[in-house]
Amino acid sequence: MSSQNASETNWGMRIALWIGFGLFLATWSGGPLGLISGPIGREYPWYSVILAHTAFIAGSALGCLGVKTVLRKNPTRQIGTIGVACYVAAALIGLIAQPVLAQLSIQADYIVRIVLSPVLGALYAQSLLFWTERFLHIRQTGKRSDFIAAFIPCYIFNPLVTAALSPFADVFYIFSIVTLVCALGSAAIQVVLSKRLDEAVPKHGEDSEPYRLSVYSGSVLACLGFTWGIVQAASIVTLGANMSSSTMAMFFISFAILVVLALAMQLYHPHDDMRFGFFIRVSIVLCGAATVSIPLAVALFPSLLHAVCSLAITTAEVAVFAFTIDLCSNEGKPLADVFASNFLLFAGAISIASVFFLATFAWVDGQYAWWIVATVSSWAVLVVIPFLPSRSSEAMVFALKKLPEDEGYETNVALMRDRMAQKYSLSEGETAVLNLLLQGKNRNQIADEMCLSAWTIKSRISSIYKKCGIHSYKELVQLASDDRL
């Protein structure tokens, strides 16, 4: 009966997480001062929309850096309470500011929005870290596919909320009002989950080694951020700040494609979890394909552009969250440290992409500008290929400052040894022998190194083969290299 209650509680927590984070994403897209919430009848220039969105993301990243600094000095539950209050206050400020901004000229209006957006983005930081920590809990108690299955559906809230508001688009400040309502709902769920779980704020180990980005992990994050910035800008230029019915339909199509891809990756690894390296490679390929296809979509299939852009944006964000959560789960790094560093680099790349996009369209006209953007974005993806993790690598191996092609021979051997020892319940002595076998040493070499007789080593090798259900060294190597292990 207790296990049934625990299962019901787990499902209840999952549903609460889905709704809470989904509502948060609905308020986070563009921020509470996003130009979509501006006065009715005002047509904002597309570059102001790009600048406002970019400023909000940059503010969120800087806010996460600030939360990280505060947590180092005062890691208490009060920070979570303050963070919830700041999040709701940001949405409330967005609503109160609308009538004031409506009295200004259009130029002054969007300048004020651009200036205030990073400030409001910073107020979102602690709530963003809170929801990330909840997904970290899922990753620690399950597989990567469980995290992805819980994370992706949250993105459906944004188009659902926008679609529900379409019939009321002529109501003054309706988007700001609904943003505040969604923020209150998300904050209420955050408070409830904070009481149900041990900690309401990201944990920070006192003795943990500071997290530092390597050139390999940094290159991948920069590529994802640059792609995100390009496709977001492309979507805004062609579709504007508001979402029409066809735009929303394309968003739902892109969401369906993403769900299908997630299911396909899960079916590709039916017996075990998908590897980090495989997931990151698929994410980079999807983002690269999206940027290359933008000029073709603009010229030939403009109705599909939003689906392509939404697919790339969601994929890039999921990849950043997955990398952060994997590092914290496997290597024990504090979430505030890892997420602040990763997201700051991601947001920096977005800012560079936005500036490049604006400069290109300011100096080049027409279709040529689209092809320049696509060419540079393609090169950004190609440049990062040598830094991609191998298909079977894990996040903590990739984060090391070693080439991702070999990722440290000793590290890979240790990972294979530990996985086999855990799966097949090998003893300590058998694990030591397995470690040397995977290094390519024969029975006599192992006996000399371990100062044991050759017969003892032979007995342990036979025991390893029996527990693993194999009969030869070749089968042992194949089993150790199997992604399903």
CATH number of the domain that residue 330 is part of: 1.20.1250.20
Q: Tell me, yes or no, whether 338 lies in a domain.
A: yes
H or E, element range at 96: helix 78-102
Section 57-69 average pLDDT: 91
Q: Tell me, yes or no, whether 46 lies in a domain.
A: yes
Per-residue pLDDT tens for 395-411?
A: 655 665 444 444 444 55
Amino acid at 270: P
Task: Tell whether 16 and 114 lie within a shared domain.
Answer: yes
- pLDDT at position 40 over 80: no
What percentage of the chain carries pLDDT values higher than 70? Answer: 74
Q: Tell me, yes or no, whether 429 lies in a domain.
A: yes
- Smallest CA-to-CA distance from 182 within 383, 30, 370 is with 30
Domain that includes residue 447, residue range: 409-481
Task: Tell whether 376 and 442 lie within a shared domain.
Answer: no
**Domain C-terminal end among 398, 417, 441:** 398
- pLDDT at position 199 over 50: no
* Angstrom distances, CA of residue 65 to CA of 33, 95, 201, 339: 22, 26, 14, 9
Per-residue pLDDT tens for 312-350?
A: 888 899 889 988 888 787 666 788 888 999 999 999 999
- Pick 292 or 3 by higher pLDDT: 292
Section 377-405 average pLDDT: 67
Q: How far is CA 69 from the centre of its chain?
A: 22
Q: Tell me, yes or no, whether 404 lies in a domain.
A: no
pLDDT of residue 211: 76
Q: How many CB atoms lie within 10 A of CB 233?
A: 29
Chain position carrying tokens 């392509």: 308
Spatial distance between the Cα atoms of 465 and 166, rounded to a whole number of angstroms: 64
- CA-based diameter of the chain, in Å? 90
Q: pLDDT-based confidence at 306, cuts 50/70/90?
A: confident
- Pick 196 or 446 by higher pLDDT: 446
- Smallest CA-to-CA distance from 59 within 120, 18, 8 is with 120
Spatial distance between the Cα atoms of 274 and 144, rounded to a whole number of angstroms: 7
Task: Tell whether 393 and 475 lie within a shared domain.
Answer: no
Q: Tell me, yes or no, whether 237 lies in a domain.
A: yes
How many domains are there within the chain? 2
**Domain C-terminal end among 398, 427, 454:** 398
Spatial distance between the Cα atoms of 143 and 394, rounded to a whole number of angstroms: 13
Q: pLDDT-based confidence at 28, cuts 50/70/90?
A: confident
Spatial distance between the Cα atoms of 131 and 127, rounded to a whole number of angstroms: 6
Rg (CA), the chain: 25
Whole-number mean pLDDT of the chain?
Answer: 78
* pTM, rounded to two decimals: 0.77
Task: Tell whether 53 and 120 lie within a shared domain.
Answer: yes
Q: pLDDT-based confidence at 240, cuts 50/70/90?
A: low
N residues, the chain:
485
Question: What six digits make up the tokens of 149?
Answer: 């299955």
Task: Report the half-sphere exposure of 373 (CA within 13 A, side-chain side).
Answer: 36
**Domain C-terminal end among 338, 370, 398:** 398
Torsion of CA 203, 205, 208, 211, to 10 degrees: 20
Task: Tell whether 340 and 448 lie within a shared domain.
Answer: no
Task: Tell whether 380 and 416 lie within a shared domain.
Answer: no
Spatial distance between the Cα atoms of 190 and 126, rounded to a whole number of angstroms: 11
